[in-house]
């Protein structure tokens, strides 16, 4: 059933020590995405019971997940991108990381004011990225139905940076 598929899916997440820097345990969902039953289970669980008009997936693995969720729910998908990739930008937001800062950009002619948006990414770590993605959606005049991830690294406390949003994590570790 659904729960068995979800449990098996989670076993396909790879843990890679010392990436991208020493001391960090990187969670790579690539093998999970490559497995058909896992992709279906994760996709279903991310969007289940939620009402939204469009999906916003965060670069890079959020693009893959976001497109699958959108297709399953009959919506379109928008990629929130790192800077310098888009020819035309509707809006952008910058945010602080532990060391330095980062930016996400909303492509032109995608999101319409008032749309209900499901924000999708793979991992919630410090929360900077997911929080910024939600602020970008709101800044553009739309509303966030929920911010959803496959995995939340709960010990980092990142949920606090996604303040005021409904956060759904399929797995906490």
Question: Which residues are identified as catalytic?
Answer: 61, 98
Q: How far is the CB of 119 from ligand PRP (least distance, A)?
A: 11
Peptide bond into 139 cis (omega under 30): no
In angstroms, rounded to a whole number, what is the distance separating the alpha carbons of residues 60 and 110? 18
Contacts of 100 (CB under 8 A, 6+ apart): none
Among 46, 106, 125, 140, binds ligand PRP (CB under 6 A): 125
- Per CB under 6 A, does 25 bind ligand PRP? no
Between 4 and 16, CB nearer to ligand PRP = 16
- Per CB under 6 A, does 9 bind ligand PRP? no
In angstroms, rounded to a whole number, what is the distance separating the alpha carbons of residues 55 and 63? 10
Between 41 and 58, CB nearer to ligand PRP = 58
Closest CA to 111 of 84, 86, 139: 139
User: What burial class does residue 151 get, using C-beta atoms within 10 Å of its C-beta: 0-12 exposed, 13-18 middle, 19+ buried?
Assistant: buried
Among 158, 167, 168, 171, binds ligand PRP (CB under 6 A): 158
- Per CB under 6 A, does 124 bind ligand PRP? yes
Between 47 and 128, CB nearer to ligand PRP = 128
Structure tokens belonging to residue 110? 């995608």
Between 66 and 158, CB nearer to ligand PRP = 158
- Per CB under 6 A, does 66 bind ligand PRP? no
């Amino acid at each position: 059933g659904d729960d068995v598929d979800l449990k098996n899916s989670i076993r396909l997440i790879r843990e890679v020590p010392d990436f991208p820097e020493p001391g960090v345990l990187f969670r790579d969902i690539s093998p999970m995405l490559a497995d058909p039953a896992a992709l279906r289970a994760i996709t279903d669980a991310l969007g289940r019971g939620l009402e939204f008009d469009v999906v916003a997936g965060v670069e890079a693995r959020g693009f893959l997940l976001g497109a699958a969720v959108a297709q399953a729910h009959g919506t379109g998908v928008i990629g929130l991108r790192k800077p310098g990739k888009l020819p035309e930008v509707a809006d952008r937001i910058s945010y602080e990381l532990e060391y330095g800062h980062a930016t996400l950009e909303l492509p032109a002619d995608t999101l319409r004011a008032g749309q209900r948006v499901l924000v999708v990414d793979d991992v919630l770590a410090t929360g900077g990225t997911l929080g910024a993605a939600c602020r970008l959606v709101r800044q553009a005049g739309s509303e966030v139905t929920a911010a959803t991830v496959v995995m939340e690294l709960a010990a980092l406390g990142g949920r606090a940076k996604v303040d005021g949003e409904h956060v759904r994590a399929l797995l906490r570790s």
